[in-house]
Structure 1
């Protein structure tokens, strides 16, 4: 495949992603789900109104910038409200999220390329990320999870670029984005943990050479030539500095709290949240995320018309077929890695699988220690890496010499595409008949 054709395909996916996120973005002239917090808090920065935020403040800065820039353009009264505390259009507090989310498939595809340098793998991963519903929904409203995932993935992309190209600026930028991800939510530290674990595995392999074939570490083997002081500065000092400096606007607006006091207050707030349906009807345990047992209804409206009942529903849920296949890929790769890692036999895919598995569990397993109510969107960082996993399996099917494998790869892509189209009304909030809505919902999803 020529580079021109490759970029043409990737660009097509990007414009599809962009169109899906900006289509009818102003609909539902209200605050949807946690927009009641993030959009309001963002407006507080513009009106200089003190408030308490239970998360780090970077999300609200970004949404505030979006509102400020959006105020330059006229808006229809049909999409304007004062629910944030000032009169703003719904597009003004959503458009920057939509733009940011449009780059999610590109970033994940770029990681796939840095791991393998194969156009085929990059195209498939980008295609799968374009057809993922949860990231589409999260991008269309003034929420914080798309910033968390994109910043975290950018940190890993830059880390891989540094390993491949030895450009120290990439390592510094990786540290900055790690700090930025943590300044969205504290679980952004999972991306940092993933990098630390990869470095640890590489150094451990040098101590246990009799157990590891170093060729299996692939590109991450290049970490061995790096000075520990360089890694510590860029992957510890830089993230901490970035995270701390991003608190300044919040602390200036709320001078009654010191940096340490606000962290204690946030910690106490989350510790006080219970874990039951009484806290929130869509609470879900971490293990239920693997099968998408409990998606979240972000918006629901039933309208009775002379011709029948119309449902407008937005569910924060993934593409079911893609979701379940991605979980299956993690199970397959976990078994494969355990069986293969200690064998003195070279496997060209082990380094890619190692990268996927380590980052998947680094972002998932810390949630097993959390006692408060959690939600499906907390799984998004882990799920991003599982998309790399199912992408690798489908690519291997499509390039296989066996026709049955190639047909399987095509069938999987068709099923994923069909599922995305089928559930698209739920992602975009398109009108559905009562029967059409019921057909798209499993009993535990409602």
Structure 2
């Protein structure tokens, strides 16, 4: 059956979307109260709905606007807080499939990259909470898809895909400034790829292409502030728009007090300090939500990164090298981003890239491994099922039930 589905990539994408959306939506009403940073972002979305005044000014507005739209459509309740998160979670999984398909030009690694991302637990948890990261990831992944589509396009559609990439990446910055390095990466990658093979990005001269990309992405970013112009108190103005960016920068780079869940960037791939988003009584029973990756996928993925670097350097294999470089970039930027505190959820984007790297590694060594990528699904599914109760806020038996899942001291 899998071999037949590999011959129908569009149908496969629809099936992936259906499974992901069902998995993310079931039980979304749990917990029934705000959890973790929903306290900040859902509260900001409520204020935004009333157009009363600016709130949560340290981040741009697009992610909070999407949460507000969910509340407007479905009510001020857990479904309204998290509905658009589930949609963007599904879009992220399908985007991983499309990105890997364009990167490898093969359906099987694309399918497995999507499955790894679906079972990797990071997208699952973020797709069921009203935070900004799932919107950031969705826009970035599809910005990458559009970038690769433009690279491969041989017709006038190259400009369509190129400008779509600019819009999507600009929207990602409109969710969180953490997307800015990826916009810069797209520009550098474009120049490098064009220099290596002028046939890529057919018909596009580098200067007008980069100029259009910059103008469109920046315009998209500033367009996300449109709701702020309608505040009743202290509305945004064109004169204030640029100075406001410096106010945001000051808030982004301020020194914060130590936090119980803070962690260093180098510890995230090892999952030394995951985060309890929620652990208390809700609807009469104990429930928990732990942001933690699937060990079978995230730890195995680190071996895949090393393998892809090996293939890229020693064998001059372009696709594995590109995948390894993208993961290294995605984690490496956190070593230089001026944040006084780090948290495991910052690993969200690198964890998604890691699923692509893992699928690419299996694909590159498919003959030697004899399609044993399927074997990894056994521990991956098993680990997902094992952690599911504390990923999805299932009812737990008692207050100390969490100890069942605490493998390392830093997990408690």
C-alpha RMSD of matched pairs (Å): 2.5
Q: Which residue of 2 aligns with 1:60?
A: 64
Distance 1:407 1:161, change over 3 A: closer
Q: Which residue of 1 aligns with 2:161?
A: 170
* Corresponding residue to 1:385 among 350, 353, 360: 353
- Separation (CA, whole Å) in 1 of partners of 2:153 and 2:364: 26
1:355 matched to 2:337 = no
User: Displacement, 1:362?
Assistant: 3.0
State the Cα deviation string for residues 114-165 of structure 1 (Å, max 9, x = none).
Answer: 1122121121112112212111111111111011011011111011111222
Equivalence map 1:103-122=2 (5 Å): 103-122=91-110
Equivalence map 1:87-106=2 (5 Å): 88-106=76-94
User: Displacement, 1:70?
Assistant: 1.1
Q: Which residue of 2 aligns with 1:255?
A: 235
Give SS of 1:27's match. Answer: coil
Which stretches of structure 1, 4 residues or more, deviate above 6 A after TM superposition? none
Equivalence map 1:23-38=2 (5 Å): 23-38=26-41
- Separation (CA, whole Å) in 2 of partners of 1:18 and 1:414: 22
What TM-score do the two structures reach when normalised by structure 2? 0.89
1:440 matched to 2:405 = yes
1:243 matched to 2:228 = no
- Separation (CA, whole Å) in 2 of partners of 1:388 and 1:432: 34
Q: Which residue of 1 aligns with 2:305?
A: 330
State the Cα deviation string for residues 82-127 of structure 1 (Å, max 9, x = none).
Answer: xxxxxx2221121111122122211100011111221211211121
Moved more, 186-195 or 419-428: 186-195
Larger radius of gyration: 1
**Contact between 1:175 and 1:239, CA under 8 Å: does it hold in 2?**
yes
What TM-score do the two structures reach when normalised by structure 1? 0.82
Give SS of 2:320's match. Answer: helix
Q: Which residue of 1 aligns with 2:292?
A: 317
Equivalence map 1:396-411=2 (5 Å): 396=364, 399-400=366-367, 402=368, 405-406=369-370, 408-411=372-375
1:287 matched to 2:291 = no
- Separation (CA, whole Å) in 2 of partners of 1:247 and 1:380: 25
Distance 1:221 1:135, change over 3 A: farther
For structure 1, list consecutive stretches of 5 or more residues without a partner in the other structure. Answer: 72-87, 206-213, 215-219, 342-349
- Separation (CA, whole Å) in 2 of partners of 1:99 and 1:193: 27
- Separation (CA, whole Å) in 1 of partners of 2:152 and 2:93: 21
Aligned length: 398
Q: Which residue of 1 aligns with 2:119?
A: 131
User: Displacement, 1:30?
Assistant: 1.3
**Contact between 1:134 and 1:317, CA under 8 Å: does it hold in 2?**
yes
Moved more, 434-443 or 108-117: 434-443
**Contact between 2:229 and 2:235, CA under 8 Å: does it hold in 1?**
yes
Q: Which residue of 2 aligns with 1:376?
A: 344
For structure 2, list consecutive stretches of 5 or more residues without a partner in the other structure. Answer: none
User: Displacement, 1:436?
Assistant: 5.3
1:423 matched to 2:387 = yes
Distance 1:371 1:14, change over 3 A: closer
Distance 1:194 1:329, change over 3 A: farther
- Separation (CA, whole Å) in 1 of partners of 2:145 and 2:411: 34
